[in-house]
Structure formats: structure tokens, C-alpha cells
């Protein structure tokens, strides 16, 4: 096909963690073709400079070498040539995350943003990629998992895949290796589950059954009449490791990392906390299929992957997704209401723990994600608020406000469906890259229109402002109370510790706590409390022998200098709220049933 951009990628050296990529175009720009690798990946709002992992690159045309001039940290320009131009380059792949690329003798994984140079001026043309296996008998059992459409490849096989444009090419991660595979259908759409890594006695049947419920509930939320999903096929890709957690959304798939202990075990009927967390992660990334992959902030339509794209709306796109991820678990019947109330209470307590919530609004947190949320330091709890967690509570508060204010006639679900119809489904006839984004003022106007309520004061106080949400008041009409279980609080230093060998190292010092008032700082290593040795394992036990208000002497190393600190122990300030049903009012029961399903 004329003007098709053609790639091939092969694991060149699994021990050295190198992918080799070739890129061919038939008609390079007469003035010298420009190529660039994205600086960030959608869904992870931080400049990551993926081009730093290109360790060698060359170009040729007609069998002759073509010069490449480096324009900036992620761009090159080829010398002038008439015929087809081919680039060849190696990419170092040793980032064990969902964001980049990873390769060793056990598996290979890559996001297109990490390995496929963009051809300036040809982004809208079709792109093909020939995915090749590594050489050697040890890799004969390897397969390929991706949601990319096959061109000259069988499903799960090596070969050539096709994308309508560059945006589609880089929105389908690829996993290769020997993996566990299961398939289920959600409202008629095939969904694959791919698990890479050693997981003894993995219960894939249970996982498929639970994910089917979750996926069908989300499809029905956005399309209650037609039950139509926005993709023809979906792939859950999970890398199971000893200890890990993370996910990244794509238009028809998600890349996940979890601890192998979080995955279900054959014959184990009860649901572990780890498995519940994993299902919540899957639910979160699947909800993004609508919310952020197709309904987008205006700043992301289209993405500019070479620079930061600022938006104050991540509290909606990430926060609301965080609200719905656990809500869908209870609505679909995967967990019960008491389990959901525990998850909700945990989120509420987490938001209230940090004093940063009184200094940064979720709108500002969204805008500053590039330099604050994704670059957190030891002072983060005292300086920032999470647009994920507080954003999820804003979703909860709006949902409760709308349901109570309209006597159950309207809900947040209705607003999400309106967003989908106006900014997602009806604008994507030509694919997820063709729509328009939603602006901040349009979001608020839509809330007022769909609900019939005047919600500007809510947005001023809780989205652009830093007020704590009145959750106890909002939950009351639903027959739920927020109970404080911290009446007999333990003595505390007001710190977060990190284990560093056997040392007890301060990870964060909470503002207003005893350690803060005494002058301790993050990075200090506690040595002794009242002349008794402190270790990572015994600090809580030592503190348990004191009472709130007691004075203690701490010795700690700051760098290589020993310091003494006199500390007055304060009451543990960690919130201990819990959610519980109260009363049997019929109206509360109806509201709660409509909300939780």
C-alpha cells in the first residue's frame, strides 16, 4: 500500500534486553524526513524521554548510508534521498512497568510509544508492524498477545499486524512469551485474559467469570439499551511478579502488573484482599475504555506526545474512574456491600490523612500532575492531594448529591452517559483519534443540564477549592453513617517509616506531629528510643508502652551525624472512619439499592 509506514520488531538479544526495530517509508520528505519518539505515554502524565533508550540508529536508502541529524533529545532528520528510506535502531528494554518496554529470556513487552518512531507528516497513514520471535529453540513456545488487528498473522501468533494510523499503532501494547490464556464474551464481545509469570494453581475460570460480570456491568452502564461495547475485542494483559501493582489503559486492552499472590487459587472460595484489589485494578482500567480513551479532556484531543498536555480535569477522568472501579464490583455482585463499605472507608481515611488536601485543590493537582503527583517526594503528604482518591470522593459526593436532590430520578450514571454520547460515542465514527475533547466549563454546564441542579457552588468549594467533602451528611439519606473508631488513639510520632535493611528510616514526617515539632526529617534513621534500640520491626511495640503526651528521647542519624530529639508523643492522627448502615427507613433503602444495585 502506497505511503504505508512499515515496521518490524524483533527481540534481538534477550540477555542484553534489546529490541531491534526497522522502519521503512516509500516516499520520504524531499527536504529530509523527520522522525521522533514520544516523550510520554497517554495515561501516565510525566515526561519520560523514551528516546534515551535508543542506543544505536542508522539510515539507508538504495543500499547507501543516509545521514541522520539529531534535532533534539527525541527527534532526528534524515538526509535527502529519493527512494524508500529505512531506519534501523536498537531499543534498550529493561523497564519492568506498564509504561515502557521490557525484554528478557522469560518474556517481551512493549508499548508503541517506547519503540516506534513517529514519521512526521505521515501520522494519518496506515501503519503495519511485523512482530518477529527471538531466535533459538528456547523460544519456540512463545506467542503474541495484542489487540492490534492481524494483517498477515494468526491470532496469538507472530506476523504482521495493521493499524489505521500512528495513534492506533501506539495504543495497542504487545506481550510475547509463554502465557496463560482464557477467553470470555461480555455482551457478545470476546475478551482475552493473558497472564505472564509463574502462578501455581491459577484459577483462570474464576477470573474469567468475575471479569465477565465486571465488563458486562460497565458496558450496560454506558449503553443500557444496546449493550454495545466500543471495541470489537479486548485484551487484559497481566504480568505476575513477586510484589508489584500497576495498570495502564488502552483503547482495546490494558497492561497490568500484580503480585502473583493476588491472583485467585483453584479451590479457594473466599476472596482475598489481594484478589479484590486486582479486580478493582482491572475494573479501573476497563472503565477507561470510555472515560479518557474516548471521552477526553480538550487538552488531549489530539495528544501532543512531545510536550506536557495540561488539563485541570484529571479529577474527573482518573478520579471518577477510581470511584466507579470499586462501585462496579459491588453492582456486578463480585463483592458484597459490607466489602464495598470497607473499600470506601479506606479511601476516605487515606484522603483525610494528608494535610496537603487543604493546600492543593484537585483541579490544581490535575494541572500539576506532570511536576507534582508523578514526581512525589518525602513531603508529598503535606503538600499535595491525589486527584485519584479525592477525585473518587468527589464522584461519590456528586452521585449522592444528585440522587438525593432528584429523589433518585437522576444519578451520576446519567451524566457519564451524556458525556459518552456527546464527547465519546458520537464523535468517533473514524476511531478514537477523531473526536473532540470536553472543556472544563462544558463539564459543569452538562452537570447542571442533566441533573437540573445548580452545582457551581459544589465545584467552587470542592473541585477548585480545598474544603473537605461533607460525606457524613451526604451519606445519611442513604441510611449510612461514618463512625469514628479512633476514640482511644495510640501514641504516635507522626511519621511514615520505610524499611532499609534492619534500619527504621523516616519516609515522611507528617505536619503537626510530634516528630515534626521536634525537628526530625525524612531520611533520618532512628537508632534509639529512651536508650532502647529501634529497628524496623520493633518501633510500634516500643511506642505501645507509652501514653499520648509522654515525652521520649530519640536518637537518630542524619546522614552520618548522630542527633538527639526530645519528642512529645501525640495521638495517632490517622483517620479511622468506618461506614455502616443504620436504621431501616424505606426511602434510604430505596436510594441505597438504586445506588449500589
In the chain, the domains with their CATH numbers are 5-177 (2.60.40.3650), 179-274 (3.30.2010.30), 290-480+586-597 (1.10.390.10), 491-571 (2.30.42.10)
d(CA 255, CA 145): 11
Helix-helix angle 320-331:389-405, to 10 degrees:
70
Answer whether 222's CB lies under 8 Å from 209's CB.
Answer: no
Q: Cα–chain-centroid distance for residue 257?
A: 11
Write down the pLDDT at residue 587. Answer: 81
Torsion of CA 248, 254, 259, 263, to 10 degrees: 150
In tens, the pLDDT along 16-61 reads 999 999 999 999 999 999 999 999 999 999 999 999 999 999 999 9
Nearest in space to 419 (alpha carbons), one of 428, 409, 431:
428
In tens, the pLDDT along 69-98 reads 999 999 999 999 988 999 999 999 999 999
Residue 365 grid coordinates: 493537582
Write down the pLDDT at residue 499. Answer: 82
Nearest in space to 515 (alpha carbons), one of 572, 575, 576:
572
Nearest in space to 571 (alpha carbons), one of 512, 505, 524:
512
Q: Is the pLDDT of residue 311 over 50?
A: yes
Least confident of 89-98, 444-453, 493-502, 538-547: 493-502
In tens, the pLDDT along 201-255 reads 999 999 999 999 999 999 999 999 999 999 999 999 999 999 999 999 999 999 9
pTM higher than the cut 0.85: yes
Write down the pLDDT at residue 562. Answer: 98
Residue 203 grid coordinates: 484459577
3-class SS at 211? Answer: helix
d(CA 224, CA 406): 20
Answer whether 152's CB lies under 8 Å from 182's CB.
Answer: no
Answer whether 9's CB lies under 8 Å from 87's CB.
Answer: no
Write down the pLDDT at residue 501. Answer: 87
Q: Is the pLDDT of residue 433 over 50?
A: no
pLDDT band at 435 (very low <50, low <70, confident <90, very high): low
3-class SS at 376? Answer: coil
Amino acid at each position: 500500500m502506497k505511503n504505508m509506514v512499515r515496521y518490524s520488531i524483533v527481540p534481538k538479544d534477550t540477555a542484553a534486553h534489546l529490541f531491534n526495530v526497522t522502519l521503512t517509508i516509500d516516499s520520504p520528505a524531499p527536504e529530509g524526513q523527520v522522525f521522533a519518539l514520544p516523550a510520554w505515554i497517554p495515561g501516565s502524565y510525566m515526561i519520560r524521554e523514551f528516546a534515551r533508550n535508543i542506543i544505536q540508529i542508522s539510515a539507508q536508502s538504495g543500499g547507501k548510508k543516509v545521514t541522520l541529524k539529531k534535532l533534539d533529545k527525541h527527534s532526528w532528520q534524515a538526509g535527502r534521498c529519493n527512494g524508500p528510506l529505512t531506519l534501523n535502531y536498537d531499543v534498550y528494554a529493561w523497564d519492568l512497568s506498564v509504561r515502557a518496554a521490557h525484554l528478557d529470556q522469560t518474556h517481551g513487552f512493549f508499548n508503541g510509544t517506547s519503540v516506534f518512531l513517529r514519521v512526521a507528516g505521515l501520522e494519518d497513514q496506515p501503519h503495519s508492524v511485523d512482530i518477529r520471535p527471538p531466535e533459538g529453540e528456547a523460544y519456540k513456545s512463545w506467542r503474541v498477545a495484542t489487540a492490534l488487528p492481524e494483517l498477515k498473522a494468526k491470532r496469538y501468533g507472530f506476523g504482521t499486524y495493521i493499524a489505521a494510523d500512528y495513534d492506533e499503532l501506539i495504543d495497542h501494547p504487545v506481550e510475547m512469551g509463554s502465557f496463560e490464556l482464557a477467553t470470555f464474551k461480555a455482551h457478545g464481545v470476546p475478551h482475552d485474559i493473558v497472564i505472564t509469570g509463574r502462578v501455581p494453581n491459577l484459577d483462570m475460570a474464576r477470573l474469567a467469570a468475575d471479569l465477565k460480570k465486571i465488563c458486562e456491568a460497565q458496558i450496560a452502564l454506558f449503553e443500557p439499551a444496546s449493550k454495545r461495547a466500543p471495541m470489537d475485542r479486548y485484551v487484559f494483559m497481566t504480568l505476575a511478579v513477586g510484589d508489584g501493582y500497576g495498570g495502564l489503559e488502552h483503547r482495546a486492552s490494558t497492561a497490568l502488573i500484580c503480585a502473583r499472590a493476588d491472583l485467585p487459587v483453584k479451590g479457594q472460595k473466599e476472596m482475598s484482599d489481594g484478589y479484590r484489589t486486582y479486580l478493582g485494578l482491572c475494573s479501573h482500567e476497563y472503565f477507561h475504555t470510555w472515560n479518557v480513551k474516548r471521552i477526553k479532556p480538550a487538552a488531549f484531543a489530539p495528544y501532543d506526545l512531545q510536550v506536557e498536555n495540561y488539563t485541570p480535569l484529571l479529577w474527573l477522568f482518573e478520579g471518577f474512574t477510581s470511584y466507579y472501579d470499586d462501585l462496579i464490583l459491588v453492582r456486578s455482585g463480585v463483592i458484597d456491600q459490607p466489602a464495598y463499605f470497607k473499600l470506601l472507608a479506606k479511601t476516605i481515611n487515606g484522603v483525610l490523612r494528608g494535610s496537603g488536601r487543604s493546600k492543593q485543590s484537585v483541579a490544581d493537582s490535575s494541572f500539576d500532575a506532570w511536576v507534582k503527583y508523578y514526581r512525589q517526594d518525602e513531603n508529598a503528604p503535606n503538600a499535595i492531594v491525589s486527584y485519584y482518591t479525592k477525585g473518587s470522593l468527589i464522584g461519590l459526593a456528586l452521585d449522592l448529591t444528585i440522587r438525593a436532590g432528584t429523589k433518585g430520578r437522576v444519578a451520576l450514571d446519567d451524566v457519564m452517559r451524556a458525556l459518552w454520547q456527546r464527547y465519546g460515542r458520537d464523535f468517533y465514527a473514524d476511531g478514537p483519534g477523531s473526536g473532540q475533547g470536553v472543556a472544563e466549563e462544558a463539564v459543569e454546564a452538562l452537570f447542571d443540564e442533566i441533573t437540573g441542579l445548580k452545582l457551581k457552588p459544589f465545584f467552587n468549594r470542592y473541585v477548585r477549592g480545598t474544603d473537605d467533602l461533607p460525606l457524613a451528611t451526604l451519606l445519611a439519606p442513604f441510611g449510612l453513617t461514618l463512625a469514628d473508631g479512633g476514640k482511644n488513639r495510640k501514641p504516635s510520632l507522626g511519621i511514615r517509616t520505610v524499611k532499609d535493611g534492619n534500619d527504621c528510616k523516616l519516609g515522611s514526617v507528617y505536619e503537626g506531629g510530634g516528630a515534626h515539632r521536634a525537628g526530625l526529617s525524612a531520611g533520618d534513621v532512628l537508632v534509639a528510643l529512651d536508650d532502647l534500640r529501634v529497628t524496623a520491626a520493633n518501633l510500634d511495640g516500643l511506642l505501645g508502652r507509652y501514653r499520648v503526651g509522654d515525652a521520649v528521647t530519640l536518637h537518630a542519624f542524619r546522614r552520618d551525624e548522630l542527633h538527639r530529639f526530645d519528642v512529645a508523643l501525640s495521638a495517632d492522627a490517622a483517620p479511622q472512619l468506618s461506614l455502616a448502615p443504620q436504621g431501616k427507613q424505606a426511602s434510604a433503602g430505596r436510594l441505597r439499592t438504586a445506588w449500589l444495585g
